[in-house]
Each structure stands twice: as C-alpha cells, then as structure tokens.
Structure 1
Amino acid sequence: MPQSLLGRMLTNTVWLLGGKGFGAICSLLYLAILTRTLGIKGFGHFSLIFGTSQALVALAGFQTWRIVVRYGAEYVHNKDWGAFGRLSALCGLLDILGAITGTLIAWVVFFQFSDALDINPDLVQTAFWFNVAAIWALVSAPTGIVRALDRFDAATYVEAVVPIGRLIAAVAIWLTEPSLIRFLIAWAVIDLIEALLYWLLARRLAPEAINWRVMRDWRRALHENLGIVRFFLITFATATVDAAIRNGPLLAVGYFAGTKAAGLFRLAQQLSQGLGKLSTLLTRSAYAEIARARFAAASDEFRKLVVHTSLLAGAASALVVVLSVLLGKQLLALLGGDDFGAAHAILIPLTVGAAFELASVAFEPVLHSTGNARQALVAKLLSLGVMAIFVAMFADSHSAVGIGWAIAISGATAYFFAGIMAWRKLDSPVLPADR
C-alpha cells in the first residue's frame, strides 16, 4: 500500500531525527568540553568566530539545495536524469561562485573589522582561514540532490560524520594540549571531509545525472527551468535576511556587551537550537515532500499534508518551550558549569523564538512550491526589521536578555505574516516562477 504524503514526510523526518538525535548527544558532549576547557572568555571568542562563519556561509551559500528540490523533484519523478544532472551542475557552479564571494567577504571582515567583533588580534589569521574552510565546505547542491531523490536515509550517515568527528577531535584535544586554535582547525577539517562525502554520495545515488557527459551542458538548465533566475535571486535574498536574523544577534551581543556575554549568549543559543532542532528536520523533509506533492498529488491531499504538518509542528513547539523552562537551567549548568548559569535568562526568549520557527515549518515550502517565494522573503524582511528595532531599543542597556526577546518577537512576526500568506495560497494553481 502506498505510503501517505504525511507518512512519507514523517519517515524522512525520523531518518533525520535519528541522525540528528545521535548528533545532538555528540554535540552536547563536545560543547561541554569546549565550555569547560576554554572558559567563558575563550568560548566567547570561539562563538564569535564560529558565529561569523555561520553568517558568511549563509550569505555566500546561495541556497542551491532549494533550487534542486524545487525544480528537480519533477525531473526525478519523471526520471529525466539529463535535465536533473544539468540543473545539479548549474547549482554546483553557483556554490563555487558563492564560495569565492564568501572568501573575499571574509577577508574584509577579519582584516578590516575584527576590532568591531572584539576578536583577539592573535586569532585573526586563524579565524579567517577557519571561515574560508567553512565557506568551501558548503554542501548545498549535493544536499539538494539527495533530498530530491528522497534519500534522507543515506544523508543521515554522511551527516553523522560531523558530530562524531567533532566529538573525537574534542576528546583528543582535551586530553593532549587544549587550545582554541586546535579546536578551530579540527572543526574546519571535519567540515571539508563531510562536503567531499556528500558529493560522492550524490554521484553514487544518481550516476545517470551526476557525470561529466551530462553536467557539462549546464547552460541548458537556464532555459529548461522557467523562472529559475528569479527564484534563485529571491531565495538568496531570503537566505541572506535569514542569516542576519540567526547570526546578527550574537554579533550584536559581542559588539555591545563583549566577549563573555557572547559566550553566555552562544551557549544559550546552542541549547535553544538543540531543543528546537525538530524545526530544521521538519523543514528539510517538508520542503521536499511539499514540492513533490504540489504537482504529483491532488489538491485536497496537498492541503491535508500542510494542515497536518502545521498541527504537528505547533504541538512540538509548545513542548520545546516547556522543556526549556523546566530543564534549561540544569542543562546549562551541566554543559558549562556554574559560571554559565546566568545564560538561563537568555535561553527562555531564544527558545520562544525557536518555537515560532518550528511552528511555521510548512509556510515557506508552500509559498515556494506555489510560485510565491517573494511572499516568504517579505515575511523575513518584516521579521528582520522588527528585530532590528527591538535590538536597538535594548542596545543601550547592553542586555543580552533583551536581544533574546527581540529574537522572540521577530519570530512571532514572521510566523503570523508567513502563515497568513501561506494559507491564502494553498489552493492557488502551480506557477513556474514567482509572481
């Protein structure tokens, strides 16, 4: 009996959750090693360097996995491997272009504005090369290939390399000569290994598409996929705004409140993201399934998938907030020791923001699949504007807690606006491009 759309999405989520659940355990262990080995100030430096890399990755990463899934899902459904390979090649080249751009931006950030980030001058060279490695380790295109092929199970094994590798490296460094630079080098090498493995997996799963004979004709993908340039520009702009929303607050805390406050903020942010990890997993599986369902399923089945996904995500978001209130303080003390207990006041608003993100996992896929990606961008811009206003309000008091509440209010804004837009578009016809 064919599996339902929701059942298939949940199956993919379970595969992701299995890998991410194991990864979460590993990450909590190596995070505890980092915080206890480096201390608040050292972890603060690590957080600012790592947070900057995440922002640059989001800025330089053109979110090509969304392009592969949005346009490639139909090619996979029809087994048109030639068109799928050309689309994948185009997205791979966009990844390279993004990496080159990101490297240039990283040079400007670290060699011209490192003082603004409160980064130790002795760490600037290391921070720059760490960011370069993170940018070139971006695996957006092959990630999209694997998701379009509905092989979330295989991706789980590749993605397990990062948490396992980081845990092994953290233990080894901890037992030998622990230092911030050694942790950064290990993280960079592991990310590069994962990127290579992802491309090898894509090649293994779709040899008819991922080969030179097909991919050398990548230019044809520009003509075969109507509206792809517009979709790319809108999703890139959305990702850029999203990067500012996700990583801007940490950099703001470092700028206004200093390195120690950034360390506390980062630990709380890591834990809130860990508690809300289900949002990322549901987004990955929901995006692929909704993209397929939009052209391969009846309209009532499509609507049912979106409704059930939203109800499931809403219930999970409420659970996330309850867990952070009841267990957050104990988890922070367990991870970082008594010195990090003050981060609990930051954790609550960050978790509220993560809960709104979790509750809205179906909205962006709906808007993208119906050719209304611009609406998703508007929701992100509105959210960023609200966050900037509240960050400015709390900046004078140098309050990391206040910046945390700015994130929560921003998340609520995005949730309500994107939700209204998505429900209005549920019954709209399939469009080749954004209006």
Structure 2
Amino acid sequence: MISPAAVRSFGRQARRFWREEAALRRRLVNTGHLLTGNVFGSAIGLVAFVLTARALGPTDYGILALTLAYVRAVERLIAFQSWQPLIKYGAEVRGREHLNDYRALLKFGLLVDIGAAATAYLTAIGLALLFGPLVGISAQNVDQVLIYATVLLFQISGFPTAVMRLAGRFKLTAYGALISSVLRLGFCAVGLITGQGLRYFVIVWTVTQIIGALTLLGLAFWEIRRQGVRRLLWAPLTGVTRRFKGLLSFTVGSNVELTLRSSANEFDTLLVGMLAGPAAAGLYHIAKRLGRLVLQLGVQVQAVLYPDVARLWADNAVNEFRRAVLQIEVMLAGIGVALVIATALVAQPVLAWTAGPSFADAASLAVVQMLAVTMTLSGSAVRTALLAMGRQPSVLRVVSIATVAFHLTAFSTIPFIGAMGGNIAHVVMALVWLVGLSMIYRTALPSQPARV
C-alpha cells in the first residue's frame, strides 16, 4: 500500500518538475489549445457523420464515404506538405533583417499550394470521369464527386499552416477552425429532420469545407500583415532555392512522402469499397473516423513541437532537442495505450447507440484501427525530429517500405475477411513505420542520454 508520505513526495516532485519545465509547459498549453479546438471540431464532425449515417443508411452513407475518400485521396496524392520546408527554413530567418528572405520563402510556398490545388482539381475530375468504376464510383455517383471536388480549388493549406505555427498562433488557429464544423453540424441536423438525400449532404460537406479553408487562409494573411510583411505576391523569387539550400528537394520529397502515405491512409476506404462493397466501406469509414479523432492528438503535438525543435536544431541545442522529443514521445505512447483499452471497452455500445445497430459491427474494426493509431502516435514525435534535422529522405524511405507492407497486407486480406483486412494492414504499416523511424533517429544523434 502506498503511504501518504510517498504520495506527498510525488506531488512535490511533480509540482517542481512543472515549474522548472517552462518549455514543456508552453508546449503543453499550446497543444491544449489546439486539442481543445480540434477535439471539439472532431467531435462535432463525428456527430455530423452520425446524423448523416442515420439519415442515409449504410449503402448511401457508404457512397458518401467513398466520395469523400476519393477527393481527399486525390488531394493527398497531388498536394505538397509545403508547411514542412516553410517551417524548417522559416525558423532560420528570424528578425527584421531577414524580412525579404522570409517574404520570398512564403511566396514560394503559396505558389506551390496554388499550383497543387489546381492540379488536384483537374485530376479528380478527369479520373472520376474516366476511371470512376475502378475505384468504386459508379456512373450514377459521378455527379457527387464532381460537386465535392470543388473543395480542391480552395485547399491552399501549407502556406497558412506554416505562417500560423511559426507565429505561435495556435489558439487562434484552433478556435477559428470550429466555424465550418458548427455550420456542418447544423446543416446535417436539418438534413436529418427534413429527410434530405445523398445530394444534399454532399453539398453540405462541399460548402462547409470551402468555408474552413478560406477562414485559415484569411487568418494567415492577417498574421503576416501584422508582422509587417507587405506585397507578398511581388516578392522576387530569384535565387530562393540557392538561399535556402535543399528547399526544392525537401518540398518535392514532402509531396512524394504524402503521396505514399495517402495511398494507404486515403485509398484504403476505396480499396475496401472496391473489394468488399459500399456497405463494408461505410463500416470501415466509421471505424476510421474514430481513429482520426485520436490521431488529431499527434497532429496537434507535431504542430507545436515542429517549430520549437526546428529552432533548437538550427541553434545546435542538441540536448534540449533530444529532451523535448523524448518527453513528447513518452506522453503520446502512454495516451495511445490508454485509448486502445478504452476503445475495446466502449466502442460497441457507443456505436450502436449513436450511428445505429447496423453500425455496431464496426466496433471490432475500431479496436484494431486504434492499435495502429497508437503506434502511429508513438512515432510522430520522432518523425517531427527527423524533419527538423533535415532527414526528410530517411523519413521517405521508411514511409516507402511501410506503404509497400500495407498494400501487400491489404490486397491479400480484404478479399477474404473484408474491412478487417484494411485495419490489419494499417497495423502492419504502423509497426514498420515506428520501428524504422526509431532506428534512424537513435543513430542520427550524439550518444549522450536525455532526461525526461
């Protein structure tokens, strides 16, 4: 039995640790803001999906899921994660004396985003019209894709993401994103009450996602104006890739990495729909929504950690760098294990009560999906560190191997065990990802131990 004195001693140590760890405290506060906004947004989005599932039923909901998955997959296939190089190199040009370099860097990222958005839109339309049936989109459902693909023209997200994260505007970003989520929930509730069909819900998702993208872009332009950055579009780009050595290869590499990961994380719903039918895709999509709700934790932690560790690495503060990464790594692993246990206990009754009894079978899918999510969470801090170190090619190699493992597993299991095969494939991919990134990270740093 633990004595009261031991409890008091632990409490004193915890309070002293909290007071002394100013950097960790700031990261956790910023992460808390992002998580609060994103948990609310994701929870609101999950309720919107539940209302939609109630209104449409498994088959039509599966068609909607395939539509959303297809457009998101094309966007991920084409998009550049321009925020990654913008943050890495933006962390190196702090101060008014580097304002022109900063303007050129931001303009480079903005133009990359605009070009990718236009290319993604044209690609989505063309592939849907020519090859829709091959990815589970029948001729009758192409119209839904043509409507929803409009959001791709507004997916200019890398530039505003980098601007807001470098400026530390995590609170504003988190709560500003709730606008579109609240609107979507309201429209979905109206659709359920009035008995609207599939076309209505596709339009709702299209309009609200465009509003969300424009909100983030508007906040970014407001922020750079506040920083004194003027006439961004007139900034000269001559020599920008020489000034920021490795900028072009980092940007292209981020696109290849995202494409590979998306072939598993976005095309998986399409694979299930193609190999097991729309109803199975609907169940799989519900399970993935639960997993994505948790993955927001890793996304938001990375959002806060990446600018910090990029600055630490640029300043050659190796010990502080290692300590920051280790602290976040331990925290994410512990949270992930707790969530796997919680999902196993409550997923089935919650799904039956919310989405309906016909979706209760997604509970077992959610448990396996959460196991994959936990391993992905555990590796997100290390991935962030490797990007800050300029090890993007190493990350790309690990992602390539993990993606091959996913597809080999998925194509060999989904035809026999349905949607569960997709979740098992994610577990295999996450395991390869976690082990591979950890091995590279451990060999990339000096051997001094880091304190938690």
| Superposition TM-score, scaled by structure 1 size | 0.93
Residues 86 and 387 from structure 1, CA distance in 2 versus in 1: closer, same or farther, beyond 3 angstroms? same
Counterpart AA for 2:151: A
Question: Aligned match of 1:404 in 416, 420, 423?
Answer: 423
Q: CA deviation at 1:421?
A: 0.6
Q: Which residue of 2 aligns with 1:228?
A: 247
Secondary structure at 1:80's aligned position in 2?
helix
Residues 213 and 41 from structure 1, CA distance in 2 versus in 1: closer, same or farther, beyond 3 angstroms? closer
Q: Which residue of 2 aligns with 1:265?
A: 284
Secondary structure at 1:211's aligned position in 2?
coil
Q: Which residue of 1 aligns with 2:118?
A: 100
Q: CA deviation at 1:223?
A: 2.7
CA contact (8 A) 1:62 1:236 kept: yes
Q: CA deviation at 1:243?
A: 0.8
Structure 1: which 4+ aligned runs deviate by more than 6 Å? none
For structure 1, which runs of at least 5 residues remain unmatched after alignment? 429-435
Question: Aligned match of 1:367 in 381, 386, 409?
Answer: 386
Q: Which residue of 2 aligns with 1:357?
A: 376
- 1:121 aligned to 2:139? yes
Residues 135 and 284 from structure 1, CA distance in 2 versus in 1: closer, same or farther, beyond 3 angstroms? farther
Residues 72 and 85 from structure 1, CA distance in 2 versus in 1: closer, same or farther, beyond 3 angstroms? same
Point out the more displaced range, 377-386 or 23-32.
Answer: 23-32
- 1:11 aligned to 2:11? no
Q: Deviations over 1:220-274 (max 9, x none)?
A: 4323211101111111111111111201221110000000000000001101221
Q: Percent of pairs identical after alignment?
A: 22
Following the alignment from structure 2 to structure 1, what is the Cα–Cα distance between the partners of residues 128 and 262? 18
- 1:41 aligned to 2:70? no
Q: CA deviation at 1:302?
A: 0.9
Following the alignment from structure 1 to structure 2, what is the Cα–Cα distance between the partners of residues 168 and 56? 28
Matches within 5 A, 1:10-409: 10-76=28-94, 80-207=98-225, 208=227, 210-212=229-231, 215-296=234-315, 298-409=317-428
Counterpart AA for 1:148: L
Following the alignment from structure 2 to structure 1, what is the Cα–Cα distance between the partners of residues 232 and 420? 55
Q: CA deviation at 1:413?
A: 0.9
Following the alignment from structure 1 to structure 2, what is the Cα–Cα distance between the partners of residues 364 and 99? 26
For structure 2, which runs of at least 5 residues remain unmatched after alignment? 1-18, 448-452
Residues 214 and 340 from structure 1, CA distance in 2 versus in 1: closer, same or farther, beyond 3 angstroms? closer
Q: Which residue of 1 aligns with 2:450?
A: none
Secondary structure at 2:134's aligned position in 1?
coil
CA contact (8 A) 1:35 1:335 kept: no
Q: CA deviation at 1:211?
A: 3.0
Q: CA deviation at 1:299?
A: 1.5
Q: CA deviation at 1:311?
A: 0.6
Report the number of matched residues. 428
Residues 73 and 268 from structure 1, CA distance in 2 versus in 1: closer, same or farther, beyond 3 angstroms? same
Following the alignment from structure 1 to structure 2, what is the Cα–Cα distance between the partners of residues 412 and 281? 21
Secondary structure at 1:392's aligned position in 2?
helix
CA contact (8 A) 2:67 2:144 kept: no
CA contact (8 A) 2:69 2:266 kept: yes
Q: Deviations over 1:149-200 (max 9, x none)?
A: 1111111122112211211221222233512211111221222222222222
Q: Over aligned residues, Cα RMSD in angstroms?
A: 2.0
| Superposition TM-score, scaled by structure 2 size | 0.90
Residues 116 and 400 from structure 1, CA distance in 2 versus in 1: closer, same or farther, beyond 3 angstroms? same
Q: CA deviation at 1:345?
A: 2.0
Q: Deviations over 1:264-303 (max 9, x none)?
A: 0000110122133312221222222221221246211111
Q: CA deviation at 1:348?
A: 1.6
Secondary structure at 2:360's aligned position in 1?
helix
Structure possessing the higher radius of gyration over alpha carbons: 2
Following the alignment from structure 2 to structure 1, what is the Cα–Cα distance between the partners of residues 55 and 116? 34
Q: Which residue of 2 aligns with 1:431?
A: none
CA contact (8 A) 1:203 1:211 kept: no
Secondary structure at 2:135's aligned position in 1?
coil
Q: Deviations over 1:306-345 (max 9, x none)?
A: 1111111110111121111111112221331000011112
Secondary structure at 1:74's aligned position in 2?
coil
Point out the more displaced range, 319-328 or 295-304.
Answer: 295-304
Secondary structure at 1:238's aligned position in 2?
helix
Secondary structure at 1:427's aligned position in 2?
coil
Following the alignment from structure 2 to structure 1, what is the Cα–Cα distance between the partners of residues 233 and 133? 48
Q: CA deviation at 1:41?
A: 0.4
